[in-house]
Amino acid sequence: MNTRSTYAPEWTGRTGSVDADALAILLGDWASGPGTLAVRLSTALFRLLDREEIAAGARLPSERALATALAVSRTTVVAAYENLRQEERAESRQGSGTRVLPREGDSRGRGDRRADEPGRGMLNPVLRALTDEHAAGSVSFVAAHLPGAAEFLTDAFAKSRRQLAALSSHHGYMPLGLPALRAALARTLSERGLPTREDEILVTNGAQQAIALVTSLLLSAGDEVILEDPTYPGAIDLFASSRLRMTPVPPAGEPGAVERIAAALRRPRAKLLYLQPTFHNPTGAILPERQRREIARLAEQSGVAILEDHTLADLSLGAPTPPPIAAFARRGTVLTVASLSKLYWGGLRIGWVRAPEAILHRLGRRKAMEDLGSSLPGQMMAVQLLERTEAVGALRRRQVEERLDALVKGLTRRLPEWSWKRPAGGLTVWVKLPRGQGAEFAQVASRHGVSVLPGPVCSPTNSFADHLRLAFVPEPEEIREGIDRLARAWDKYAAGREAARGRVRVIV
């Protein structure tokens, strides 16, 4: 069973063994802050242990392997492990390596907790960027979210206050969502070529909850979910924590992808096909209408449900956007999810699922058990914001184009060896390095004050080791500074690889 998340350590055996490259990704931007590299590494490891992101009994990578993955000298890792031992958080035995000890007073005992248990609270680097403090002066290309559209948000809040006062006599629990918002979303989808009724819409706390609800309703542990490789890291997290078998296929727009999808749909345990047809994350590609029709037909024949994620569909860079796949499905089960996070503001936490009415009410019952319904004030604001979609869309296009232009010019000028395709929309560029590994380079980049997302984080198979995902969301001037730092880091990284003839031993 493939229950591994791309960022999670690779666990083997009863107590688990942590893969060095995966641990390097999990550590994230550990090298910023005061103290020597050894002190900073120790601090980051203590943080992972305190959060139980590495379970008691797990075997840490060898000093040599972790030093290679982090692009530091072995003495740095030796000193960090010694700090763990001195604080009685780890022990080393000849022949069995260094293992994590339980915290003092932990009644579960050493190794009692299963190290391969999914959903232990591990954070991929994107979520870690949201929860950890951002190092002062650093530039981040990790998380793909724009700042809120402040002017529109303020106006929507003011207009929704009167509605809130009128609705306050109601008990306020609406598990399916505010009727006015469900109706507005149905109109929006209908205008985009997908005829939709209000009773086919469920409001959620963002698209992430929408994906989670669909997953929990339609699949059980051991079922297969077919998904693109690479894809959205948050979806991989959910599928891994649900103990699903993840069957990778190429992104739907690539040559031969439809044939691979067709073959995967015939697998006996296949229950769900997860796609991002409009501005794929991380490639930014768009799936043509002809292939959308073909995929809808194949799913109907197989009986496998489709979950299409349109979270980035509002962020077009000029490419025409065909109707969702659901518009071409006559009998098959196609569920469409999206949110207002990318266009308006992530803080709204407004997403939705569009599904056949019978399935939608089952999803609604699950949501009611989970949270009794999403916040109504935010939904009232969303109704107002949807009336300004065209104006907000124009604003976002200008912002995204400015940021992408800064990134493209910077990459072309400072990093001409790197290869990438201009995205049709969305907020990310998928970069292929000419040599080396993205996780190793990310460690060097962090010590130059810039954060990037290694390719394996976006892969259910830990592939694309030579790729990076760059989110172009900082201000243009900050992007230009970030590219300059990346170029300096690349010079250092490439020189170190050349000097070591393929073995990374860079101390910066």
Per-residue HEC secondary structure of 254-277 comes to CCCHHHHHHHHHCCCCEEEEEECC
User: What is the pLDDT, as a whole number, of residue 120?
Assistant: 37
Query: Among 467, 411, 497, 481, which residue's Cα sits nearest to residue 140?
Result: 481
Q: Are 211 and 234 in contact (CB under 8 A)?
A: yes
Residues of the chain falling short of pLDDT 50: 1-15, 107-122, 502-508
Strand partners, 335: 307
CATH number belonging to domain 391-500: 3.90.1150.10
Topology (CATH level 3) of domain 20-119: Arc Repressor Mutant, subunit A (1.10.10)
Pairing of strands 305-309, 270-275: parallel
Task: Provide the 10 A C-beta neighbour count for residue 361.
Answer: 15
Q: Scan for tokens 């994906």, then name that residue.
A: 211
Residue intervals of the chain classified under CATH 3.90.1150.10 are: 391-500
pTM score, two decimals? 0.82
d(CA 361, CA 244): 24
| Both structure tokens of 427 | 């907020």
d(CA 229, CA 459): 5
Give the three-state DSSP class for 336: strand
Cβ neighbors of 409 (< 8 A, separation 6 or more) are none
Query: Among 299, 303, 298, 392, which residue's Cα sits nearest to residue 345?
Result: 392
The residue type found at 66 is L
Compute CA 160 distance to the chain's CA centroid, rounded to the nearest angstrom.
32
User: What is the pLDDT, as a whole number, of residue 128?
Assistant: 62
d(CA 72, CA 59): 20
Q: Scan for tokens 């120790």, then name that residue.
A: 42
Q: Are 487 and 452 in contact (CB under 8 A)?
A: no
Task: Provide the 10 A C-beta neighbour count for residue 265.
Answer: 21
User: What is the pLDDT, as a whole number, of residue 53?
Assistant: 78
How far apart are the two ends of the chain, measured CA to CA in Å?
A: 40
User: What is the pLDDT, as a whole number, of residue 97?
Assistant: 87
Residue intervals of the chain classified under CATH 3.40.640.10 are: 150-387
Residue intervals of the chain classified under CATH 1.10.10.10 are: 20-119
d(CA 170, CA 301): 45
Outline where 135-176 has alpha helix (H): 150-167
Q: CA torsion angle for 318, 319, 321, 325 (degrees, to 10)?
A: -150
Outline where 328-469 has alpha helix (H): 357-371, 376-386, 389-414, 438-446
Q: Are 502 and 443 in contact (CB under 8 A)?
A: no
- Phi, psi angles (nearest 5°) of residue 315: -105, 65
d(CA 252, CA 447): 36
d(CA 250, CA 118): 25
Q: Which CATH class is domain 150-387?
A: alpha beta
- Phi, psi angles (nearest 5°) of residue 78: -55, -45
Query: Among 44, 126, 127, 56, which residue's Cα sits nearest to residue 83?
Result: 44
